[in-house]
Chain A
Amino acid sequence: MKMMLQLVSPTAGKIMMFGKDHREQMKDTYQKIGSIIETPGFYTNLTGQENLEILARFRKNVSKASVKHALEVVGLDQEKKKPFSDYSLGMKQRLGIAAAIMHEPELLILDEPINGLDPIGISEIRQFLCELSRTKGTTIFISSHVLSEIEQIADMIGVINQGKLVEEVNMKELHKRKRKYVAFTVSDALSAAKILENQCNVRDYDIQDHMIKIFETEFNVGYFNQILVENQLVVTGINTCEDNLENYFSELIGGGGIA
């Protein structure tokens, strides 16, 4: 992302954006892009509005009304006198988002945009990004370690591990790939596993403390429960679940961290 945004020079290769090398017609290309790289930086002696006005002047085609609208969208329009140095982390992040969207970009590049936001703020920004994509057709290129958030807004997901793109998949396909399972919470998960293996021919399962997860395409939850109870095991919970994104990608990269 930093290479796309001219912060770091590529050591090799080309960066293509809008169908051409990003250094060709650089002005046109970057006029269409908005960005946040982690925690955004602004001039500490200035207010949010003053900061945005400077960026608007650099961009040349952004009106004062657009600056005000962007501040309204992120809920900072009332902070007229507060300098950036007095902003909370969440407010700084909101101002970063306002700076990224004030010129109505065609492409938004966001690196960890929900850093420091409270749960309500996260939900608001998520809704806003979805709406921006839906109503204005803005392409949003977002990176995050909070995969549950990504899961809620992305149409296409790519996983980079050790600097290499491991997988790129659209969400519909991903949902198909994520495995469904039934989780039984029982008094003795190890015994339960043996019983189900012997009596129901269950082979694909996983044990976690008092829980046994059964990954089978065809579930017969009632029958499994009956077998466990008949074998004197106490069943305290039965849930039908789906692998979350974290689990899916953790398995994809062999259990390591997701970069």
Chain B
Amino acid sequence: MLNLLYCELLKLRHSKMISISVLGAVAVPFMLLVEELQTHAEHPEEKILLDQVYANSVLYMLILANMMVSVAIASYLFSREYAENTWKTILPLPISRTKVLAGKFLTLFIWDLGLTLVSWFSILFFSGIFHAIFGMSEYSLFTAFRWIPKYFLLTIFMFATTTPFVYIAQKTKGFVAPMITSAVIVLGSAALCNQEWGALYPWTASVLLLQGRVEGTGYPVWLSITILIFVSGIGFMLTFLHFKKEDLK
């Protein structure tokens, strides 16, 4: 599997997708810096905490920017083999289709994790700039490192909720359909993220789970987790079944 992962990473050499995705991962931290500056300008007496900046980032990352970036990466990873006509070079090699797909999913997870870490570091960096000029309460590496496990969980949730888009990319052999679908999903997330039903909608359930707000919606935590696992599982299953049976003409 490590060999497959290495092959997938080799395929990304000279690819502009890496730099574009990094820019996407920096978007939320940068917007949070702008928000900090505005808050400071309007209410200079208000304390801005690094912990609070990280907490705010979860919502934006999971339902907006990083989610969209993750869908774009997934679409790129899975549809490029069709676009560049490379399946007919890869599939006659002595390797099963299941392993090829597993290698791609693993690459997607690692890429998502890398981008989450970029976002984590960017928040620390931008907040550091703010701290140097205006001062930020509890600005410390310790606070930042406390968020690493949560960000890891965030990556798992983001990866899990991306699998249906992988299937769409695989099925439609392109970028457009998964990106349009993800835009619709993001609209749904925006509408439900502060509603009780948000606990039942996988893309907002993940945010509520991370923020510990599921119980406040009246729905049990296990239900949100079950829905997340179900949607993710459906995405995986459809992708594997479709690819295993697909004829590449």
Contact = CB atoms under 8 A, between A and B. Distances in A.
Given A7-B92, A27-B94, A39 B85 contact: yes
Interface string B70-110: 00000000001000111111111111110000000000000
Contacts of B93: 30, 55, 58-59
A41 B86 contact: yes
Nearest to A27: B94
B87 A58 contact: no
Q: Report which residue of B13, B85, B88, B91 has the largest number of chain A beta carbons within 10 angstroms of its beta carbon.
A: B88
A33 B89 CA distance: 12
A35 to B, nearest CB: 5
A258 B240 CA distance: 38
Chief secondary structure at chain A's binding surface: mixed
B88 A40 contact: yes
A136 interface: no
Given A2-B249, A8-B247, A30 B15 contact: no
A12 interface: no
B248 interface: yes
B146 interface: no
B152 interface: no
A6 B15 contact: no
A207 interface: no
Nearest to A28: B94
Interface string A1-33: 010011111000000000000000011111101
Contact of A5 (B80, B91, B95): B91
B84 A58 contact: no
B92 A42 contact: no
B43 interface: no
A213 B127 CA distance: 91
Contacts of B84: 41-44
A44 to B, nearest CB: 6
Given A50-B13, A57-B10, A8 B249 contact: yes
Contact of A8 (B85, B96, B248): B248
Nearest to A40: B89
A28 B249 CA distance: 24
A172 to B, nearest CB: 32
Contacts of B97: 6
B137 interface: no
Nearest to B14: A45
A60 interface: yes
A57 B103 CA distance: 13
B94 A7 contact: no
Contacts of A44: 84
A99 B10 contact: no
Interface in B223-249: 245, 247-249
A181 to B, nearest CB: 41
B91 A7 contact: yes
Nearest to B99: A58
A53 B10 contact: yes
Interface string A45-70: 11000100111011110000000000
B85 A7 contact: no
Q: Which 8 residue pairs across A and B have the least CB separation, nearest first?
A: A41-B85, A30-B94, A5-B92, A41-B86, A27-B94, A8-B247, A7-B248, A45-B14
Interface of B: 3-4, 6-7, 10-11, 13-15, 80, 84-97, 245, 247-249
Given A26-B96, A41-B89, 10 more contacts: A2-B247, A2-B249, A5-B88, A37-B92, A43-B80, A45-B14, A46-B11, A46-B13, A58-B4, A58-B94
